[in-house]
Amino acid sequence: MELQISSRNMEISPAVRDYVQKKIGKLARYLPDITGAKVEIHEENTKSPQHRFTAQVTLNSKGVLLRGEERGEGVRIAVDAVAEVLERQIERYKGKLYEKGRGVSLARQSTVSEDVAYREEAGTWPRVVKVKRFAVKPMSVAEAAEQMELLGHSFFLFINAENDALSLLYRRDDGNYGLIEPELA
């Protein structure tokens, strides 16, 4: 992990620099994909001594940015507080990945690879059992929503009359609609 430490309105001593490297470096234990971290420490003249130092940390993990900012009466207190905030953010981020099935946790990694090997060996992959064809005509999003409701489906595929692109309208859990418009890569 590449760590950049900068300051404003103060000089960072080598002891503080080592402390920041140690504290922020520990975050790599929780999220090993961290490629870079940017730490900014500011000293401000405030009336409240509890808010004199500000530590701002931005972590980059494969394009996902996690950012935390905390204040404290000392540099070490501010760095400790921002490290705790980032730990919670990392846990929340990893939980979302796990729940959505987008990521493979380190604990499940071996069982998933065993499951893939078993399915390849047994030939038990899900297969397409029905193909449905229907004529698609250009229509507005409002017309597509009306058609979807008339059919009683939770999604509707149509050609958007505004941009002549294939679009997918779907009903969200909150009762509203979502629209997917694919882009060619």
User: For the chain, which domains are there?
Assistant: 2-100 (3.30.160.100), 138-180 (3.30.505.50)
Structure tokens, 4: 């950049």
What is the rounded CA–CA span in Å between residue 26 and residue 131? 52
Those residues of the chain that have pLDDT short of 50 are 106-108, 110
Q: What percent of the chain has pLDDT over 90?
A: 34
Q: What DSSP string describes 68-128?
A: EEEEESSHHHHHHHHHHHHHHHHHHHHHHHHHHTSS--TTTHHHHHHHHHHHHHHT-----
In this prediction, residue 117 carries a pLDDT of 61
Question: What is the total residue count of the chain?
Answer: 185
Which residues have CB under 8 Å from 147's CB, separation 6+? 139, 156, 158
Q: Residue 180: its pLDDT value, please?
A: 94
Q: How much is the pLDDT for 112?
A: 54
